[in-house]
Structure formats: structure tokens, C-alpha cells
């Protein structure tokens, strides 16, 4: 397979804040992994709000072109948010997802096997977030408010929310596939034949958005009929508000969760609280031909540059990226090394209540590989 | 004041499911309260999905007219959601908020003084949700997808998100006022002079929705300059995804939280998980001249008709309604009775791990008044 036939090239886009610390950490782990003696090559690429402030461009054309032309996959760090409206600035990660048609954002949220993270119960769910539309199409406009009640200068701003059959279908398809694959992996690992059915929770708010979320829920559910292997998946629906509530009350009730873009963004941050820290939760932006690993956390300007950031979300994102590049075994080695460090519990960054540095945790993961 | 000059008329709209049990429970408490010997009058009014199924109308004209013409305030139960798109149906509570211009939804989420609810730490926050716009304007449409990648029959659905200066300003104003009032009440109750400053957290997602959420954040923040008493309020901003995360990690960090409609909907359900049950969390839909109390929970069809629903959210919503009708002392009597029942912990409904019925809990609250 491609995985073993040639050395792989990975684009690295640290972007802002702690992205500049955790992406090098992930790179160090990938270097230490050296799959079958074939080291990875890396290409460093620019993007981010700080890059925008220096150059007027948040996502340089060159970054997109080299990702497309020279890379087998990529890792993205985090972006800082401007504190005021900044003319001409637009989030580079949202743009990147669009340019590379990375239509699903895959976010596994799981406590370390044998531990329960922050909560009292183990969590093991996979959130799949539609990654190209909803309010993220960023079609916004503003106009004067000419209603009789308005004061001089009042405005009305509008944003378009787009939900298409096509985007819902391909995201739903990925969700069903992953539900089946997770189930198969769990069954194989446990050796049991009575592993509970895979379950897919379809999140929406169709009691208010009956047309847009109507298309979403109906399209995702209709995917089940496409493939006989999907028949085993138990499908349930959940309104997004109740979903947040239930996720906190009974996280063990969820397996694979699929949601439109904005709901998925909110849910995955909420789920991160259940496992103890955003610094643990990885994601992969996945398309048909390319994937970009990305920690779910932000650029954390308050701790940037202090060797305090938890590198684990970025390191796990590198593993997720490898899975998507057909290198499941290498990915497993990373997951196991990370879990061993977490279970040992001696080297933890401050977000997990420890005192270890980014460097120390990264070195520890490398030693366990 | 109006509060003591005449008996008050309260509209009761139980709507669907357990709304038909918890609204009568709230009514029973209001009857038992009998403020200064002047009993309330009640008017029973129709609305809901079940009413729609019977009559083709989810919110009868008569309900709106009698609320406007004959009532001093109202209580709304809960609405069931259709499991499929139903032509002509639209949520009656969303419509009611609009018809009565109830522009803020006030949702206090607090653990019982002396207890910590579900979590390990006491929670005491007030979520104020903009209640008239955002995606809740329900302007949606659907069109054929004629793009080259589309399959036959594929569609694209659109929803408009509206954020206006005017709606943001009046909601922001209510948030600042309530932050100041809460602070004054806490200071008075504690007798201390060093009660921490009131704090207002402005929730948005302006890193993606720079124009709509830009108007929201800038307008709400600008309100601070309107009134010298607002100067004491510490204002912070929080992206909605991080907000959900932080709310679970450090709920004690929040005081008053103000959010656009959809974010506020999601946040308040999340916050409910922190205090142990949605069955505890009340809300009031508030306008300049009218308020409608409404428990935050849904119609819970799975337990409807079984005398199992927790009546406390509805009872507290009745108290919130009284506060908004200028009857703060009567409201306090209800809060204290409810807190006493919860602290005693003998009569709890199943959502709180107990075995008591709706009737038993309601009777217990009435006895404590
Ligand atoms: C930085 C921001 C645009 C982004 C998003 O909302 O998608 C982030 O929150 C994420 O979850 O990847
Ligand atoms: C029933 C539904 C339309 C409503 C909402 O989303 O506003 C409910 O969830 C609420 O929070 O009051």
C-alpha cells in the first residue's frame, strides 16, 4: 500500500499562539516514530491571524498550493481571534477546509482506557461534524435598519445558513461508515460476539429550523438504506440543546454523533470538558483525498510561548492523520504511547493539574513509542 | 403599586406532554400563595403541537388576544416536536415570543444554596438569551441544487440569521441592569461591602460570524456607556464553543451571561446539567410590558401522564413571572419553599434520583409556603 511504499510528506501549519509549540511537538513524535525506517518529510507553511497582521493574508495561496501539490497530509495548529472586527480578515482554518474540500471533521473524544477523565464515567464517543457549510459559508451582509422603532445608525446584519442534500449525504455516509468500523474494531479487540450495536445520534434543531435541519436529518437518515452494512446501526435523533444536556448527564449513551457544522463545533468543546481538557482532544478534517489533523483547542494566547501547552491533542491529531493516510499501525503506536503517559500520570501539563512542560510530555511520549 | 392594588390574572398555556402536569402544579402553588388575601385569577388557553394536530393551528389567535387583553402575565408549559417535517406547523412558543415582543429570555441556573447540585461546585448564573431573532426568525427556503456535483433531486436549503442593533441593544441593556441588580441583592443579603464586582459574559462566535456576531458583541458592549451604574460591571467575551467548555470546567466563573438566541438555547440546557436536572431550571420570556414564565425543559412524551415530571422548573417559572410583575416578596416565598423541599431531599422526582410524584412534590412546596 501507499503507506509502506514511499516516505510521506506532511505539511505543518502551526499558525498562532500555542500552535507554534504543539505542532513542533507532534512533528517530534512523527520523527521519533520513523515508520519502517522511512522518515517523514515536512514542509513548514504559513497561515494565521499573526501572519495576516504582518502580510495582509491569513491563508497564503502558496500554503494551499503546496498542500495540494506536495503533501500527503497536513497538521494545523490553532488560530487567534481578533478582538474587534478586522476588515479583510477571515479565519484561515475555515478557508482551508473549503479549499481542500475537507467535508467532515472527525473528533474522537474518549477518556484513557482504564480512567474516567474529569467526570465520574468513562466517555468514548466520536463526533463527526459537517465541515463545509451551515453558517460557516460566511455569507454575511449588513444594512441600515429603517424600521420605525430603530434609532439613527441602527443596522441589521444577516448571515446565510446553508444545508445541502449533497453535503449532508457525504457527511452522513462517513458517519455510518465510521459507526460500522468502530463497532468492528471493538468487537475484534474484545473477542466478544455480543458487543452492543453501533449507534448513530443525529443532532439537529428541526423544531425551529424545519427546512434546513429537515434536509439534514432526512438526508443523513436516508443514507442508512445505501449499504447493507449500515442496517446494523441504531439511529437516534437529538435536538442540539437536549444533546448538550444529555451528553453531560449520560455520556456513555453516545457512540457516533453526527452534527451540522456549528452544533458540531459547540458539542465537541463540550465533550472535551468530559475528558478533562481540551488539550487532549484531536480532530481530523477529512476529504476524499486529503486530511488535515488539528487539535480542537485554540491558540491560548495567555499561555503561548511558555512551554505550558498540552501537546497531546496535537500528537493525537497526528495519529488521526496517519489513520487517514492508511497508516493505522503507526497511529496505534502513538495512541498507546500517549495513553501510557496519561495513565502513569507523572508528567501532566497544567490543564490536567500537573506541572510538566510541553517539552517533557512530548519527550515522554517519544520514549514510550 | 400594581402588585398590591388588584388581583392578578394569569394565562395558563400547558401545551403538550408534561406541560399538562407541571402548569397545573404551578397553578396550585400560586393558589396556595394567595398574596395578601387577593387570589389570582387564571385563564386556561390552548396551544401546542397536539392542538395543531387536532385543529390545524399551533397558536390560536384567541390565545394571543386574551393574553394581550385580559392577562397580567402567563405561564407556558412545553411543546412536543414533530418527528417529521409537518406542513404548516410552526413552534407556538417561538411565535408567542414574537407576537408579544418578549425580547429577552431570562434563565437563572443556580444550585440550591448550601448544596452543589450534580457537580462538585455551586453554580449561580443568570443566562439572558436574546429571544426574537438569530435563526429563530424562521426565514427558510429550499431550491434545487443545480451544481455539477449534485445528484438528481438534490436540494439546497437556506435559513437567514438576523442580528440587529436594536434587538442586541435592548437585550444587552437588560443584561447590564440585571447584573447590577443581582450584585445589589447579593451585597444586601450578605451585609458585606466587598462582594465581587458584577460580571457580564458576552457570548458570540465572531471568529466565524464577524458581521452578525460583530454587531451583537459591539452593540452589547456599547450599552455599558449608557448608564453610570453599568460602569461597575466587568465585561468579558467568550466564544460559544469555549463557553460551553468553560461553563463545565469552572461554572463558578460566571455571573450574568448574555447570548444570541440559539447559543442561549444551547447554553441554558448545558447549564441545567450542572445543577442536576432540566426539571429544576425556570425561565421567563420578558418584554417591556409582559412576561411569560416557561420551564426550560421540554414536553418529555416518554413520561407524560404518569405523575413523574418534576414540577419545580414550572413552579420557579411562576416565581420568576411574579418577580416580573412586581411581586418580588411573593416570588421569594416560592423560591424559599422550593429550596426547603430540595434541601430536605426527601421528596424528589425521578430525574433527581427520587421516587416522589409530581403531586407529592407540589403538595410539599405548598406546605412550605
Ligand atoms: C477557530 C474556529 C474558526 C474553529 C471553528 O469554529 O471551526 C475552531 O473553533 C474549531 O473547532 O476548529
Ligand atoms: C421548544 C423550542 C422551540 C424552544 C427553543 O429552542 O427556544 C426550547 O428549546 C426552549 O429552550 O425554550
Averaged over successive runs of 10 residues, the pLDDT of chain A (369 residues) comes to 68 98 98 86 97 97 97 97 88 96 97 68 93 97 97 97 98 97 89 88 97 98 98 97 95 96 97 92 97 97 97 98 95 96 94 96 97
| Local structure of residue B276 (DSSP, 8 states) | T
Q: Which atom of ligand 1 is nearest to the CA of A94?
A: 3
Which architecture, in CATH terms, is A124-131+162-274?
3-Layer(aba) Sandwich (3.40)
Compute the radius of gyration of chain A from its Cα atoms.
21
Q: Choose, out of A209, A247, A248, the residue to mutate when testing the contact with B (most B CBs < 10 Å).
A: A248
d(CA B190, CA B178): 18
Contact between A167 and A212 under an 8 Å Cβ cutoff? The reply is no
Question: Domain segments of chain A: what residues?
Answer: 1-108+277-369, 124-131+162-274
Q: HEC string of B48-78?
A: CHHHHHHHCCCCCHHHHHHHHHHCCEEEEEE
Q: Say if the Cβ atoms of B165 and A155 lie within 8 Å.
A: yes
Bridge partner residues of B236 (DSSP): B201
Which atom, in ligand 2's list, is nearest to the CA of A208?
3
Record: contact B166-A154, CB cut-off 8 A:
yes
A245 to B81: CB separation less than 8 angstroms, yes or no? no
Give the span between the Cα atoms of A274 and B283, in whole angstroms.
Answer: 26
Q: Identify the burial level of A305 via C-beta atoms within 10 angstroms of its C-beta, where 0-12 means exposed, 13-18 middle and 19 or more buried.
A: exposed
Please answer whether residues A13 and A95 qualify as being in contact, where contact means their C-beta atoms are separated by less than 8 angstroms. Answer: no
**3-state SS assignment for residue B136:** helix
Residue of A nearest to B244 (CA): A270
Q: Which of B156, B166, B208 sits opposite A164 (nearest CB)?
A: B156
What is the pLDDT, as a whole number, of residue B137?
97
CA quadruple B256, B260, B261, B266: dihedral sign? negative
Distance from the alpha carbon of residue B265 to the mean position of ligand 2, in angstroms = 7
HSE (side-chain half, CA atoms, 13 Å) at A40 = 29
Please state the atom number of ligand 2 nearest to the C-alpha of residue B262: 6
Residues with CB under 6 A from ligand 2: A 207-208, 241; B 79, 91, 93-94, 265, 296
Residue B311 Cα to ligand 1 midpoint, Å, equals 39
Phi-psi region of A37 (alpha: psi -120 to 50; beta: other; left: phi over 0): left
> Which parts of B205-290 are beta strand (E)?
234-239, 256-259, 284-286
Residue B161: beta bridge partners? Answer: A159
Total-model pTM: 0.95
| Architecture of the domain spanning B1-103+281-369 | 3-Layer(aba) Sandwich (3.40)
Whose CA is closest to A277, among A22, A11, A58, A9? A22
Closest residue of B to A268, CA-based?
A: B241
Integer Cα distance of B237 and A119 in angstroms: 27
Hey, are the CB atoms on B159 and A211 less than 8 Å from each other? yes
pLDDT tens for chain B, 369 residues: list them: 344 457 899 999 999 999 999 999 999 999 999 877 788 999 999 999 999 999 999 999 999 999 999 999 999 999 998 888 888 999 999 999 999 999 999 999 998 876 666 566 789 999 999 999 999 999 999 999 999 999 999 999 999 999 999 999 999 999 999 999 999 988 888 888 788 899 999 999 999 999 999 999 999 999 999 999 999 999 999 999 999 999 998 999 999 999 999 999 999 999 999 998 999 999 999 999 999 999 999 999 999 999 999 999 999 999 999 999 999 999 999 999 999 999 999 999 999 999 999 999 999 999 999
Q: Whose CA is nearest to atom 11 of ligand 2?
A: B265
CA distances from B61 to B56, B131, B345, B361 (A): 12, 21, 43, 34
Maximum distance among all alpha carbons in chain B? 73
What kind of architecture, by CATH, is found in domain A1-108+277-369? 3-Layer(aba) Sandwich (3.40)
**Edge-first strand listing for the sheet containing A104-110:** A41-44, A9-15, A73-78, A291-293, A284-286, A104-110, A124-130, A256-259, A199-204, A234-239
Helix (H, G, I), strand (E, B) or coil at A319: helix
Please give the pLDDT value at position A194.
82
C-alpha distances (whole Å) from A158 to each of A263, B137, B210 are: 19, 11, 11
pLDDT of residue A116: 62
For chain B, report the end-to-end CA distance as a whole number of angstroms.
Answer: 23
- What is the pLDDT at residue A189? 85
Q: What's the pLDDT score for residue B120?
A: 65
Spacing, Cα A170 to ligand 2 middle (Å): 29
Contact A161 B160 (CB under 8 A): yes
Name the residue among A140, A150, A166 with its Cβ closest to that of B166: A150
Q: Residue B300's closest CA among B358, B355, B227, B243?
A: B358
Separation between Cα atoms, residue B332 and residue B169, nearest integer Å? 29
| Separation between Cα atoms, residue A252 and residue A125, nearest integer Å | 8
A265 catalytic per annotation: yes
What's the grid cell of residue A341? 503517559
Ligand nearest to the Cα of A244, by number: 2
**Exposed/middle/buried for A151, CB within 10 Å: 0-12, 13-18, 19+?**
exposed
Facing B157 at nearest CB: one of A212, A241, A298 = A212
Report pLDDT for A37.
78
Amino acid at each position: 500500500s501507499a503507506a509502506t511504499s514511499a516516505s510521506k510528506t506532511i505539511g505543518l501549519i502551526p499558525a498562532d499562539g500555542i500552535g507554534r509549540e504543539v505542532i513542533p511537538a507532534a512533528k517530534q513524535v512523527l520523527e521519533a516514530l520513523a515508520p519502517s525506517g522511512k522518515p517523514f518529510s515536512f514542509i513548514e507553511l504559513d497561515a494565521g491571524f499573526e501572519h495576516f497582521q504582518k502580510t495582509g493574508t491569513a491563508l497564503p495561496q502558496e500554503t494551499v498550493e503546496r498542500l495540494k501539490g506536495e503533501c500527503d497530509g497536513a497538521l494545523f495548529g490553532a488560530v487567534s481571534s481578533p478582538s474587534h472586527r478586522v476588515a479583510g480578515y477571515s479565519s484561515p482554518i475555515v478557508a482551508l477546509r473549503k479549499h481542500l474540500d475537507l467535508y467532515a471533521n472527525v473528533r474522537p473524544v474518549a477518556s484513557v482506557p482504564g480512567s474516567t477523565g474529569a467526570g465520574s464515567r468513562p466517555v468514548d464517543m466520536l463526533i463527526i461534524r459537517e465541515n463545509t457549510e451551515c453558517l460557516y459559508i460566511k455569507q454575511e451582509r449588513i444594512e441600515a435598519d429603517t424600521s420605525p422603532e430603530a434609532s439613527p445608525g441602527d443596522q441589521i446584519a444577516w448571515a446565510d445558513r446553508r444545508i445541502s442534500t449533497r453535503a449532508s449525504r457525504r457527511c452522513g455516509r462517513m458517519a455510518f461508515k465510521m459507526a460500522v468500523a468502530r463497532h468492528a474494531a471493538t468487537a475484534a479487540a474484545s473477542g466478544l460476539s455480543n458487543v452492543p450495536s453501533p449507534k448513530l445520534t443525529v443532532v439537529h434543531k428541526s423544531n425551529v429550523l424545519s427546512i434546513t435541519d429537515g434536509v439534514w436529518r432526512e438526508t443523513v437518515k436516508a443514507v442508512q438504506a445505501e449499504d447493507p452494512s449500515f442496517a446494523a446501526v441504531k439511529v437516534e435523533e437529538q435536538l442540539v440543546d437536549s444533546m448538550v444536556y444529555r451528553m453531560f448527564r449520560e455520556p456513555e449513551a453516545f457512540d457516533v454523533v453526527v452534527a451540522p457544522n456549528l452544533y458540531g463545533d459547540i458539542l465537541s468543546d463540550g465533550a472535551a470538558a468530559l475528558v478533562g481538557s481540551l488539550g487532549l482532544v484531536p480532530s481530523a478534517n477529512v476529504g476524499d483525498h486529503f486530511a488535515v489533523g488539528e487539535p480542537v483547542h485554540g491558540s491560548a494566547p495567555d499561555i503561548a510561548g511558555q512551554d505550558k501547552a498540552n501537546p497531546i491533542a496535537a500528537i493525537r491529531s497526528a495519529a488521526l492523520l496517519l489513520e487517514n493516510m492508511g497508516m493505522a499501525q503507526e497511529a496505534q503506536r502513538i495512541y498507546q504511547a500517549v495513553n501510557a503517559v496519561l495513565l502513569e500520570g507523572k508528567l501532566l501539563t497544567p490543564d490536567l493539574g500537573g506541572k510538566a512542560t510541553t517539552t517533557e510530555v512530548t519527550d515522554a511520549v517519544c520514549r514510550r513509542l
